[in-house]
Amino acid sequence: MPALYVMIPAALLLVGVAIYIFFWAVDSGQYDDLDGAAHSVLFDDHDPNHLAATDEADAPQQSPTDSPRA
C-alpha cells in the first residue's frame, strides 16, 4: 500500500492543475461559443474544389463586381 502515499498527493496535484486549466479556458472564452466550433470543422478549407475556386478568384485580383449600393 505505500504506493498510495505517493498516488494520493499526485492525484490531488493533478486535480489542482486540471481546475487551473479549466478556469483559464473558461475565462479566455473557450466555452463562449459552443455552436461555432462544432460546425467549423465541417467547412474544409483544403477541399480541392474550394482551393481551385479560390485560386481562380485570386489570379485576377478584382473587386467584387456588384453595383454600388447606396
Partner 1 sequence: MTSPCYHCALPVPSGSRFTAMILGERRELCCLGCQAVAEAIVAGGLQHYYQHRSETSANPDTLPVQLLDELALYDRADVQKPFLRRDGDLAETTLLIEGISCAACGWLIETHLRRLPGVVEARLNLSNHRLHLRWADGQLPLSRVLSELRHIGYAAHPYQADRAAEQLAGENRLTLRRLGVAGLLWFQAMMATMATWPQFNVDLSPELHVILRWVAMFLTTPIVFYSCAPFFKGAMRDLRTRHLTMDVSVSLAIGGAYLAGIWTAITGTGELYFDAVGMFALFLLTGRYLERRARQRTAAATAHLVNLLPASCLRLKSDGQSERVLLTELALSDRVLVHPGAVLPADGVILEGQSSIDESLLTGEYLPQPRHVGDSVTAGTLNVDGALTVHVRALGHDTQLSAIVRLLERAQAEKPRLAQLADRAAQWFLLGSLIAAAVIGLLWWQLDPSRAFWIVLAMLVATCPCALSLATPTALTTATGTLHSLGLLLTRGHVLEGLNQIDTVIFDKTGTLTEGRLTLNAIRPLGKLNSDQCLGLAAALENRSEHPIARAFGRAPLPAADVRNAAGLGLEGHVGERLLRIGQPAYVCELSGCPPPAAPEHSGQWLLLGDRSGALAWFGLDDRLRSDAPALLAACKARGWRTLLLSGDSSPMVASVAAALGIDEAHGGLHPDDKLQVLQRLHAQGRKVLMLGDGVNDVPVLAAADISVAMGSATDLAKTSADAVLLNNRLDALVQAFSLARRTRRVIIENLLWAGLYNGLMLPFAALGWITPIWAAIGMSVSSLTVVLNALRLTRRPRAALAPLAKPPVAGLSRAGLE
Cell digits for 20? 487551473
Binding mask 9-28 for partner 1 (x = CB under 8 A): --xx--x--xx--xx--xx-
Distance of CA 3 to the CA centre of its chain: 39
Instruction: Please give the size of the binding site for partner 1, defined by CB under 8 A.
Output: 41
Distance of CA 11 to the CA centre of its chain: 29
Residue 48 near partner 1 by CB under 8 A? no
> What does the alpha-carbon distance between residue 36 and residue 30 come to, in Å, rounded to a whole number?
11
Site for partner 1, rule CB under 8 A: 1, 4, 8, 11-12, 15, 18-19, 22-23, 26-27, 31-36, 38-40, 42-43, 45, 47, 49-50, 53-58, 62, 64-70
